[in-house]
Amino acid sequence: MLQAGRGVDFSYYKQTTLKRGIQWRMILYKLDQMEDYVNYLQNNPVEMIALYQDVLITVSSFSGIQKLLKL
């Protein structure tokens, strides 16, 4: 659903990364069941963008990590 909605291939992401992002969003909205979150996503397009932004690993994230490792 996320890949179709945002056009990004998340198949190379670790499953734990994706699950963590989804679980965080579910906690935020006090949703206990995945089905409830899927329904929420389908009815709230803005949530799809928020989930995408939470899960997406940006290039700046990697450069920040690299800077820390050099310390």
pLDDT in tens, 5-42: 566 777 888 888 889 989 999 999 999 999 999 999 99
3-state secondary structure of 20: helix
Q: What is the pLDDT of residue 54?
A: 85
Confidence of residue 67 (pLDDT cuts 50, 70, 90): low
Q: Which one has a higher pLDDT value, 69 or 23? A: 23
Cβ-contact 3, 56 below 8 angstroms: no
pLDDT at 63 over 70: no
Cβ-contact 19, 54 below 8 angstroms: no
Q: Count structural domains, the chain.
A: 1
Q: Which domain holds residue 42?
A: 2-70
How crowded is the C-beta side of 3, counted as CA atoms within 13 Å?
6
